[in-house]
Amino acid sequence: MLDQIRTVLSHTTHPGNVGATARALKVMGLSQLALVNPKDYPSAEATRRASRATDILANATIHDNLDSAIADCQLVVGTSARTRTLPSKLISPRELAEEIKTTPDRVPVAILFGTENSGLTNEELHKCHYHVCIPTNPEYSSLNLGSAVQLIAYEMRLALSEEAVLPEQRVVDSEQHITHEQLSGLLQHFDKVMQLTGYKIPKHAKYLDLRLERLLCKAEVTTSEYNILRGFLSSVEKYSERLSSGVLEKIEQSQK
């Protein structure tokens, strides 16, 4: 389905934005790019900004007018941050993706982007079935052309591609979550050290036990984190024992 979506750039003034658009499309698995009267193209700057998406540029079609670029399209969508005096059907990028998903036979789909300075003209937008608007900060709604393409291409991939899933991540043994038995042992170790250091007093013992158990459950402690905590508690135990031995020695020496 993604190969049926055509990104159309109308009257771009900076070749770098053409390259950035090619890169944005390839990252999201789209491949069709049409250029309507680009000011400076072909261009080394466009190639540089495209990075490894130069195949998108090589296959891009160049048109003298917008009608030629969208002639075979059944669904035409214009992008603009501005509403117009004569309103079009306004939708968000996510709603657009769902519309395309629910009408898969209505292809090819053209998504139009206007010139960097002023966007699509009223005449261009009136050729569109929908007006898609990215819901940006109303106090600063200006988006770079490449960024706008990227956002919309992302929504297309999310809705229309079966490959739009997170990569599988293997969890190493040290990052596995601890068992209930290990959690119980850790709580007992905390209890022992808190009593040893005088931190835990009978008056607040039950409250402290419940809070500590809840804290460790919420933390979802892993094996490596468990080992750190047990090691730290053991070091506190040993330090306390050495400290106690030193105090006893001094008391014994003072009594001689």
DSSP code for 119 = B
122 and 179 share one domain? no
What is the predicted pLDDT for the residue at 241? Answer: 86
In this predicted model, which residue has the larger pLDDT, 161 or 47? 47
Could you tell me if residue 165 is inside a domain?
no
101 and 25 share one domain? yes
182 and 144 share one domain? no
Could you tell me if residue 190 is inside a domain?
yes
> What does the pLDDT average to over 186-195?
95
Q: If you count them, how many residues does the chain have?
A: 256
210 and 238 share one domain? yes
What is the predicted pLDDT for the residue at 248? Answer: 59
Q: How far is CA 108 from CA 7, 156, 193, in A?
A: 11, 14, 69
SS3 79: strand
DSSP string, 7-23: EEEES-S-HHHHHHHHH
131 and 177 share one domain? no
Domain boundary among 160, 195, 217: 160
What is the predicted pLDDT for the residue at 174? Answer: 78
Q: Report pLDDT digits (tens) over 89-101.
A: 889 999 999 999 9
Residue 58, pLDDT > 90, answer yes
127 and 93 share one domain? yes
Q: How far is CA 70 from CA 8, 40, 52, 112, 200, in A?
A: 8, 21, 27, 9, 75
18 and 70 share one domain? yes
Q: How confident is the model at residue 255 (pLDDT cuts 50, 70, 90)?
A: low
248 and 200 share one domain? yes
Q: How confident is the model at residue 55 (pLDDT cuts 50, 70, 90)?
A: very high
Q: What CATH number is given to the structural domain containing 246? A: 1.10.8.590
Instruction: Identify the domain containing residue 240 by its residue range.
Output: 173-255
Question: Is residue 106 within 8 Å of 90, Cβ to Cβ?
Answer: no
Mean pLDDT of the chain: 90
Could you tell me if residue 66 is inside a domain?
yes
- Comparing 28-32, 64-68, 244-248, the range with the smallest average pLDDT is 244-248
SS3 135: coil
SS3 187: helix
89 and 188 share one domain? no
188 and 156 share one domain? no
Total count of domains within the chain: 2
225 and 107 share one domain? no
Could you tell me if residue 167 is inside a domain?
no
Q: Report pLDDT digits (tens) over 6-16.
A: 999 999 999 99
Q: Name the residue among 126, 106, 109, 132 with its Cα closest to residue 7.
A: 109
What is the predicted pLDDT for the residue at 138? Answer: 84
Q: How far is CA 126 from CA 21, 41, 108, 188, 211, in A?
A: 23, 27, 18, 71, 62
What is the percentage of the chain residues whose pLDDT exceeds 90?
Answer: 70
DSSP string, 204-252: GHHHHHHHHHHHHHHHT-BHHHHHHHHHHHHHHHHHHHHHHHHHHHHHH
Q: How far is CA 25 from CA 14, 99, 209, in A?
A: 18, 20, 54
Domain boundary among 104, 139, 160: 160
Q: Report pLDDT digits (tens) over 221-234.
A: 999 999 999 999 99
Q: Report pLDDT digits (tens) over 175-189.
A: 899 999 999 999 999
- Comparing 59-63, 124-128, 163-167, the range with the smallest average pLDDT is 163-167
Could you tell me if residue 166 is inside a domain?
no
What is the predicted pLDDT for the residue at 251? Answer: 59
197 and 221 share one domain? yes
Q: Report pLDDT digits (tens) over 84-138.
A: 666 678 899 999 999 999 999 999 999 999 998 888 998 999 999 999 999 888 8
pTM assigned to the model: 0.72
Q: How confident is the model at residue 140 (pLDDT cuts 50, 70, 90)?
A: confident
Could you tell me if residue 94 is inside a domain?
yes
What is the predicted pLDDT for the residue at 250? Answer: 66
Domain boundary among 160, 194, 224: 160
